[in-house]
Structure 1
Amino acid sequence: MDSNVQQYIPVADVIAKTFGSDVEVVIHDLTIPQNSVVYTINNHVTGRQVGQSFNHLITDVLLSQNFTNDYSANYYFHTDDGRLIKSSTVLIRDHDKKVKGALCINIDTTKITENINWLSSLVPHVPNKLSESTLPFENTNEMDHINEIANDLIDKTIGNKPVDLLRREEKIEMIRFMEQKGVFLIRGTIDRVAEKLNISKVTVYSYIDEIKEKNHKG
């Protein structure tokens, strides 16, 4: 585990112990993207396990209009069993300002929602609104940071392997991982991957189409 990431383990513990068992904290080491989860506490909230990869980092954090100053607070997602999770994520950087990891706080809102609904039933005509902004992300400075992070994830995913010796299937598997994690939603990443794998952009697009076709059939 990267030493810059490891130092956040006590922070994760104190958050979870302060706010109780419905609050999960997950620490990612983004120097190992495919197995980025390196620490969890109260992981019954989402079932995150050490050795898994990130899920929402790109789509709900880096590409969110709320992403600023290295964090995105109060975004939502659903677990496989339908529970609504309120989440916040902050990036972890080293002394050279390079992104090394992320700390995520996930709150199971089930009990909160049940209590809100019960209180609302006692006070008729009180609106119960939950809004979520979906405006496009335009901050140029933040996009520079996002591109830097995406490029670093690409570099770490491909690693220092001799790409000319990689089999076609190995390249497709790397592209599959990055496509599933939303890497290609970020502008310029196709070019970066093509350069790193020493293939053309057209080949990258064809691999992505092949992956999507197989997923659709599957």
Structure 2
Amino acid sequence: MKKELEKYFVIADTVQEANGDTCEVILYELTKSGSYVAYVANGTVTGQKTGEKSDYFVKQVLENKDFKDDHLSNYFFRTTDEKAVKSSSALLRDQDGDVIGMLCINMDITMLQNVNTMLMNYLKTDLEAGRNPGTGEHDVPQDVMAVIDKLIMSVIGSTDTRELSRSKCVGLVRLMDEKGIFLVKGAMDKVAELMGVSRVTIYSYLDEARGKKG
């Protein structure tokens, strides 16, 4: 092993200890015949051992399109026993500028991924699903709103709804409800405007229309 690599042992230990048991730091020696594990601080993540020949440098670092300026940060891979690992690697050079090794920091994030999934499921709300709680209304892009406008007009047409009886107005609202128009945020106000009535009136039409369904 190249003597220059030994000065990095203390750095490997320090980084590992600062990050705890889920952190593993490995020093690789890079030679013309391949790469070898020169030192391991807490080898519990990948299970690599000092002295082993390793193709890690080629497979995980050199072949990665984001590797540049002698380092690659925060890339992801899975171990053979399915641990999720976030890793960062940096090349080590001697005083002549020749590459002699690589420092690799591996973080086992398997448990964090599981906790994150659990938290996301726990914290999921109607708002995150694009729905307004209690109303069934969904936030939609403006181009979709344009489609909703066309759907409303396809039901109302050129009819002057202010001259229609209540039962006929309820019938129009029932048709809109069947097309899913009222699931969209803002549709209630748009229908009220086009029919020349208040939002409260549209709600009453809708309640009556739904009460007669089935």
The question of a shared fold, defined as TM-score above 0.5 by the shorter chain, is answered with yes
Contact 1:25/1:104 (<8 A) preserved: yes
The whole-number CA distance in structure 1 between the counterparts of 2:96 and 2:36 is 21
Gaps of 5+ in 1: 128-218
Higher relative contact order (CA closer than 8 Å, sequence separation 6+): 1
Q: Deviations over 1:33-58 (max 9, x none)?
A: 55610110110111000111223212
Per the alignment, residue 113 of structure 2 pairs with 113
Q: CA separation of 1:6/1:41 partners in 2, compared to 1, >3 Å: closer, same or farther? A: same
Question: What is the Cα-based RMSD across aligned positions, in Å?
Answer: 1.9
The whole-number CA distance in structure 2 between the counterparts of 1:56 and 1:22 is 19
Q: Deviations over 1:144-188 (max 9, x none)?
A: xxxxxxxxxxxxxxxxxxxxxxxxxxxxxxxxxxxxxxxxxxxxx
The whole-number CA distance in structure 2 between the counterparts of 1:101 and 1:63 is 17
SS in 1 for 2:80: coil
Alignment coverage as a number of residue pairs: 127
Per the alignment, residue 192 of structure 1 pairs with none
The whole-number CA distance in structure 1 between the counterparts of 2:99 and 2:35 is 16
Letter in 2 for 1:121: N
**TM superposition shift of 1:32:** 7.0
Per the alignment, residue 196 of structure 1 pairs with none
Note if 1:39 corresponds to 2:39.
Answer: yes
The whole-number CA distance in structure 2 between the counterparts of 1:44 and 1:93 is 27
1:63-212 superposed matches below 5 A: 63-124=63-124
Contact 2:35/2:55 (<8 A) preserved: no
TM-score (norm 1): 0.54
Per the alignment, residue 140 of structure 1 pairs with none
The whole-number CA distance in structure 1 between the counterparts of 2:85 and 2:32 is 25
The whole-number CA distance in structure 1 between the counterparts of 2:35 and 2:56 is 14
SS in 2 for 1:8: helix
Deviating more after overlay: 48-57 vs 91-100 = 48-57
Larger Rg computed on CA atoms? 2
